[in-house]
Chain A
Amino acid sequence: MRISLYLGIAACLAGMGVVLHGAMLSSRDAGFAQSANPEDAYVTDGGFVSDYFDLSYRVPEGWAQGLAGPMPSQSGYYVLGTWVPKGDFAGTILVAAQDTFFERGSSDDVKNVVAQFRQVMSTVDGMTIDREPAQVSIAGRPGYRVDFSGVGLFRSMFAIEIRCHVVTFNLTTRDAELLTSLAGSLDSLIPVRKKTSDAIPECIRDYAADNVVHRVEPQGIGLISVPVRLIVAADGSVKHVHMIRGSAAQQRNIEDAVRQWKFKPYERQGHPVEVETGIVFNLKPASM
């Protein structure tokens, strides 16, 4: 028990270090944001700060952090944070992100995403679409909102696209007024990075498919698909490897290999720029 406590404290301090370091750097150096990962959000009772998504959000007074969500999924789905009221259980806020690189058939067009979601919800028995999908501004970005209700629950979903992720704010309440209030809290969403000349990487799906000029295959991938996000430097070298899911051994093997890859540099308007892309290392049957 004592060992557990010590380890817990150690992990806590280590984790804090990463966050604090990231948070401090994020306000000074856009470079950190390029190597941050989607799940590296700084989550508290009061809201969250995400360097990766360049967002900060302050939840309404009287709300507290809910139970933590699961680890990133194989399809690159992240629960960035949840919040619930401190007293009466009158609502929830769920902020999540879906990586559009790894979800089969997914779209980074939030208009389509919200329209599909609306269609699905409209077929649920007893569900009413209270507000048809409509464009809104979220943290200065164009997004979409849809409202729906059923069995006494009133819900809104707001969606925006950031770095090839669909980021959603999912609000649920027991009364329509509270939903309006919660929706208003999204006005607190603001960017966290200072404007610099450094741009975030260009987000290009499947860039690895045709642009790897030197490739080293990872060994012993095992029984699972392992999604990986890469940031390719302007010179074509691998700058950052984000192992979204996989065992420690898989992560080690893949990262060791991918770090040796060389890409064809990507140019925008005649200038080489960094690229963010995804690749999935698929399992292999045992007979192979």
Chain B
Amino acid sequence: MFDKHRDCFERFQMPCFDIARTIMTSHFRASRVQELSVTDGSLDVSDNVGERPMETIKLARAHALAGMAAMLLGSAAWSTAALAQNVSSTSTNAAATNTNAATANAATANAVGAQSNNFRGGGGGSGGGSSRGGGTDPGVRGGDPGAGGPLQGLNDTELSFFAGAKDVFQEVDAVPNGLGPRFNLDSCSGCHSHPAVGGSSPPTNPQVAIATAAGGKNTLPSFITANGPVREARFVRNPDGSPDGSVHGLFVITGRSDAPGCNIAQPNFAAQVARNNVIFRIPTPLFGLGLVENVPDSALQASLAANAQQKRSLGISGHFNINGNDTTIARFGWKAQNKSLLLFSGEAYNVEMGITNDLFQTEREGDANCQFNATPESVIPLQAADLASPSASFQSDIELFSSFMRLTAPPTPASGAAAPVAQAAGAASQTAAASTQTTGTAGQTTGTASAASTPASTASTMVASATADVSSVMTAAAGSSTAAQPASSSTSGASVTRGNQVFANIGCQACHTQSFTTTKSQLTGQSNVTIQPFSDFAVHDMGSGLADGVTQGTANGNEFRTAPLWGVGQRIFFLHDGRTKDLSVAIQQHASRGSEANTVINNYNMLSQTDQQSLINFLRSL
């Protein structure tokens, strides 16, 4: 039937690595892949991840208990986001194929990451054939983000605590406060700032200025630009070829006026870029994470199973990143590698800012001439800090950071664009487009809701008030822009509604699950709240085009957590490395060899241009 003697390229029309993926027996695959990965670094080795040391967990637990006690009063804090790896991390798992990544397709022409062919990732594709032209991203939606402030319904004590936590989240640190010796920025809110404090990367990258602040002598890496995203850098492999995957600070304190005598050098990023050995992560938005934290595992599991038949018709599977210590679902970070907000905070404080703390007590840079503080540099204060909240004044920074994330409100969509971001379970009415997704989930969590003691009247305070209008989603604007777009077409409302329908029909919602309901909460008014994060919080194989080769927890180098889409209307940079500002490019980048999203993107490419535009308008309304 088939000519068995034709050249493999001719026959398979894909790289030979993919042929191996497709046809090798598992036994052969295992041995072969191991052999190849060491030398070449371009095959998938999902070798497992180490296990997080128990002492870390015990410490985390101790602090969690202390933090919980404080949390009753409100404890608050943050984290520099996704940048951290926690659930062990860092064995390298090379992208399955073609990690040389220079094969940027037309879709990546506008990509931020397209500035260099030597960055990993970016070798996507539309799955063959030609689409109908695609929609145009109208750019960042205007209007109040509805995020950055506290959750609705909190009591006065909690609100006061949130205010204190937010203040600390915005503090700028220098070397005497613990900054460095290696770091990526000097504050949490510097990275997490758009469209409000707690968000993602701002339009103007603060990393450019920090490179030489206070006399610093840092050279700006090529992948850090004034109008590009805030980035952290990870090296995929060590010089000896063994897996790395860890964050390498962009900057050093050498030359700063507050770091006399320190003379360490930055990593040679130019050489690493030339070796195609650098991957990037941008900050994940932190809005609404306290609500995400409070969704029970059972609801996530039920949701993943609820539409399994539909997923199978689309080539989608997915699994959760399971924490090895307690076997519950980790859900924070680009790979869902972070189990808790506190751990997220502690790791980011040390990794991104170089500030040792209660969870991560050891300086990552050991040069004796660059140690200026006793360690850990940030601990629970024995004397009250000068914060508005008395209880917050006795919290360590990382507890305040995690509490900021826990207490900060989720984004709200444009008015009428979708169901409220959060509403009382009793009053929840599913949006039509997401009915498939929400049916199983709602059924799972209704029981929890009815068994809970929180009065519906209290929970109803969570009904979100939309702050922007659908009409602010501009249709068919010429190219994306960082500047928020004004209101435009009066037909936007219809387009957004249609886009919601398209979103469900072509299968986006199979992973970008619209809603979940929280369980009982320690916080006032936050029990049994239905939220609309548009994520299943599972990790999925996103193919060679997005693969970063870094394994974290049970997420391998090809896998990423389904990015929550709430607030995506006001996001500037997309995908884990911020490679594009264009939502239509981000959609296309979901397709590449090995991606679970290929069929959904094929469906997208088969849509009429009007429906493609509607989908993008819908997304920009979120």
Which A residues have a C-beta under 8 Å from some C-beta of B?
A: 1, 3-4, 7-9, 11-16, 18-20, 23-24, 36-37, 39-47, 49, 56, 58, 64-71, 73-75, 77, 79, 82, 84-92, 94, 96, 98, 103-106, 113, 116-117, 120-121, 123-127, 150-153, 155, 157, 166, 168, 170, 172-174, 222-224, 241-252, 255, 283, 285-287
In the complex, residue of chain B having the shortest beta-carbon distance to the beta carbon of A174: B606
Chain B interface size band reads 35 or more
Find B39's partner among A3, A18, A84 (CB 8 Å cutoff).
A3
Residues on A with C-beta less than 8 A from B2 are: 23, 42, 44, 46-47, 49
Q: Which of B94-138 contact A (CB under 8 A)?
A: 96, 100, 125-132
Closest 10 pairs between A and B when the two form their complex, measured CB to CB: A12-B16, A73-B317, A89-B129, A70-B541, A117-B309, A223-B324, A84-B128, A247-B47, A125-B432, A150-B505
Residues of B within 8 A of A88 (CB): 129-130
B224 within 8 A of A: no
Across the two chains, which residue of chain A brings its CB closest to B540? A70
**For window 305-336 of chain B, which residues contact chain A by CB distance below 8 Å?**
305, 307-310, 312-315, 317-319, 322, 324-327
* 8 further interface pairs, Cβ-Cβ under 8 Å (given A67-B127, A241-B27, A286-B325): A7-B42, A12-B19, A68-B593, A71-B594, A82-B315, A86-B129, A106-B308, A223-B554
Interface centre among B1, B8, B22, B129 (most CB of A within 10 A): B22
Contacts of A287 in B (CB 8 A): 54, 325
CA distance A151 to B132 in the complex (A): 14
How far is A286 from B439 in the complex, measured between Cα atoms in Å? 35
Given contacts A9-B16, A18-B28, A252-B30, contact A96 B100 (CB under 8 A): no
Point out the residues of chain B lying under 8 angstroms from A244, CB to CB.
26
CA distance A171 to B317 in the complex (A): 18
Which among A15, A69, A166, A248 is the interface contact of B19 at CB below 8 angstroms? A15
A87-B128 Cα distance, complex, nearest whole Å: 9
B607 touches A153 (CB 8 A): yes
Residues of B within 8 A of A224 (CB): 48, 322, 554
Q: Return the chain B residue nearest A119 by Cβ.
A: B309
Residues of B within 8 A of A (CB): 1-2, 4, 8-9, 11-28, 30-34, 36, 39-40, 42-49, 51-52, 54, 57, 88, 96, 100, 125-132, 305, 307-310, 312-315, 317-319, 322, 324-327, 432-436, 439, 500-502, 504-506, 540-541, 543, 553-554, 558, 591-596, 598-599, 602-603, 605-608, 611
Please name all residues of chain A whose beta carbon is closer than 8 Å to the beta carbon of B12 when the two chains form the complex.
43-44, 65
CA distance A24 to B1 in the complex (A): 11
Contact of A68 among B8, B18, B319, B439 (CB under 8 A): B18
CA A86 – CA B129 in complex, angstroms?
A: 6
Closest to A157 in B: B313
B439 touches A123 (CB 8 A): yes
Given contacts A71-B96, A283-B322, A287-B54, A126 and B505 within 8 Å (CB-CB): yes
Residues of B within 8 A of A68 (CB): 14, 18, 21-22, 593-594
Main secondary structure of the interface of A (DSSP, over half): mixed
17 contacts across the A-B interface (CB closer than 8 A): A3-B39, A7-B40, A12-B16, A15-B16, A39-B26, A65-B12, A68-B21, A69-B594, A127-B505, A152-B608, A155-B313, A172-B599, A223-B324, A248-B30, A255-B27, A285-B326, A286-B324
- In the complex, the answer to whether B611 meets A18 with C-beta atoms within 8 Å is no
B313 nearest CB neighbor, chain A only: A170
Chain B residues with CB under 8 Å of A14's CB are 20, 24, 28, 32
- Within the complex, what minimum Cβ distance (angstroms) separates A234 from chain B? 22
